[in-house]
Structure 1
């Protein structure tokens, strides 16, 4: 019997996932990676019309079902303007600030499929030229992409094949430290995707039969608000989003435990499901924190807004510096994996 959870394998999966560019709207390559991973496990999968992936594990009870979801789409950008100075103006994809990507390496994917590299910089970067380099606002007007090519005009850029609407992705700069930290962009939510893939692998390798048929939705539009609001079977009773736990002032979430969300900007999550998760954590000696995320929405809250009659919840590993250069610790991954392992084998909550 293999050791579970194998955090080393989870970390390797995270590294592979974050290095595949997948800003919302351009996620085909990473979905193909996940699809291939699941097919190698002989897991039934299908794609929805939005491009997301659904895996299904049959359970003893098919009349009442569960769905778990995590998202592979990430923050990113899109070319808004090909500038006359040979640089690019961006429009952001997802909820983050321009200052969080200043100085970052990036890739521009052209419509023809060519990939060019660049750096995201302030127009007024040089302190030897611009006296307001430090004070100028980090916004759409001032931030631009310096392309790694000999270009001095809009015409030069267009000769490279770059045009308005091309996707821009950020270098994840993933690094694993010897003492267990994982530093990278896009841990939101590729850390959780890796966790779900590990869970599915465990279930398949041990030939486990779950008490309820369980669907796993790998959604691809969460960062823009609607990744997990469809393809929920009428039999689905519980719907659990696995997404990052948000850290900061006034938060209980940390990088070493699993975060169980009581409420986010959409309102409270289902109280009985939350308590059920807490009791599972207590019973199985799993480190956890209950928290509120004040500026947050999940695929579970999107499903509720879409009108689905479900019990919804949200858990995930604690992630520091969300929507910027993120970090977590392997112990948070481990606690999240343990809670999910016990959750999918537990009874449904009363409703």
Structure 2
């Protein structure tokens, strides 16, 4: 099966689109609307469950088996927990924020009444010209705040703009695509996989190809806090998550690679299903651009699906990223290889 029609430029453009739609953990209104705009013109029905997960179901050649492919829409972010006396916002993390990586970053406060307020993440001891220990101050949720980009001097000024406890803070992505194929942006985790899923759905619709089995594409919104895949659509026997893979010691990978995750922080994935993904990668991915990994510092929705007592086989794969949960970096090659593996899986290769 030839997948040479995957267009790197189109994937890069699609990733930029998806990255720029705010979706910190649990905030799904804008991403759900985006998916409807992208997919309904292709003839797909976009549905959602009570947990905020969006689904697209694609009939396959075989209706006896249902498989689920997940790519989580949520990103790391912050939630407003209170106010400092000067009107800056006290926050808590949503997902595994590295506070050092977001210091000075601009952001958008998503208010409960629908208003949006621009802000900036700062350390309370924000300047070496003011604070002697600005360089050595530990960066934690108790020393970091969000400063609104407005004339705010006290909590009431912030409240007048619509900011309340429970407002969600979306960190601006600052997407950059370089001429040599490299991409630097926040939220490639997991918007890169979302872009791959959307392009796979486009390909299925435009080519007339049918998946091997009835296939549900799932877009959860709570992966970053550990339970995005805890509910699996009825009848699904396999849950395969597309998520980031890693670069660094213990990882024979770089930004051009797709990785098959053999095990993660929760333990090993299904032996047979993982081996099938490895076989598919060997068949459809370019030489030297795929690998296997043990991602022992994080987990995916596929592992959550399995650990939540769903009767599914679980597996995971995805594009390699540098500087995860910061301004991440990958190459468009990794997205292309990930889509090759995604298409191979849904088309039933390796069975």
Query: TM-score, normalised to structure 2's length?
Result: 0.95
Question: What is the CA–CA distance in structure 2 between the aligned matches of 1:145 and 1:347, rounded to whole Å?
Answer: 49
Q: Which runs of 5+ in 2 are unaligned?
A: none
SS of structure 2 residue aligned to 1:59: coil
Q: What corresponds to 1:86 in structure 2?
A: 87
SS of structure 2 residue aligned to 1:133: coil
Contact 2:80–2:89 at 8 Å: present in 1 too? yes
Shift of 1:209: 2.0
Shift of 1:96: 2.1
Shift of 1:3: 6.0
Contact 1:77–1:92 at 8 Å: present in 2 too? yes
Tell me if 1:302 matches 2:293: no
Contact 2:280–2:350 at 8 Å: present in 1 too? no
Q: What corresponds to 1:165 in structure 2?
A: 166
Superposed, 1:62-81 pairs within 5 Å as 62-81=63-82
Question: What is the CA–CA distance in structure 1 between the aligned matches of 2:281 and 2:214, rounded to whole Å?
Answer: 22
Q: What corresponds to 1:156 in structure 2?
A: 157
CA change 1:14–1:285 in 2 (3 A) is closer
Q: What corresponds to 1:19 in structure 2?
A: 20
Shift of 1:185: 0.4
CA change 1:285–1:76 in 2 (3 A) is closer
Shift of 1:315: 0.3
CA change 1:285–1:20 in 2 (3 A) is closer
Superposed, 1:205-224 pairs within 5 Å as 205-224=206-225
Shift of 1:210: 2.0
Shift of 1:216: 0.5
Contact 1:31–1:72 at 8 Å: present in 2 too? no
Superposed, 1:22-33 pairs within 5 Å as 22-33=23-34
SS of structure 1 residue aligned to 2:107: strand
Q: What corresponds to 1:276 in structure 2?
A: 276
- Provide Cα deviations, 1:100-154, integer angstroms capped at 9, x if missing partner: 2111101112222111111111111121221100001101221111211111111
Shift of 1:97: 2.1
Q: What corresponds to 2:202 in structure 1?
A: 201
CA change 1:76–1:285 in 2 (3 A) is closer
Contact 2:247–2:254 at 8 Å: present in 1 too? yes
Superposed, 1:1-351 pairs within 5 Å as 4-234=5-235, 236-286=236-286, 287-346=289-348, 349=351
Query: TM-score, normalised to structure 1's length?
Result: 0.95
CA change 1:19–1:97 in 2 (3 A) is same
- Provide Cα deviations, 1:143-194, integer angstroms capped at 9, x if missing partner: 1112111111112222222111111111100000000011100000001001
Q: Which runs of 5+ in 1 are unaligned?
A: none
CA change 1:150–1:106 in 2 (3 A) is same
CA change 1:154–1:96 in 2 (3 A) is same
- Provide Cα deviations, 1:63-104, integer angstroms capped at 9, x if missing partner: 112110001111110111111112111111001221121111
CA change 1:332–1:2 in 2 (3 A) is closer
SS of structure 2 residue aligned to 1:150: coil
Question: What is the CA–CA distance in structure 2 between the aligned matches of 1:58 and 1:280, rounded to whole Å?
Answer: 22
Shift of 1:252: 1.8
Question: What is the CA–CA distance in structure 2 between the aligned matches of 1:321 and 1:238, rounded to whole Å?
Answer: 30
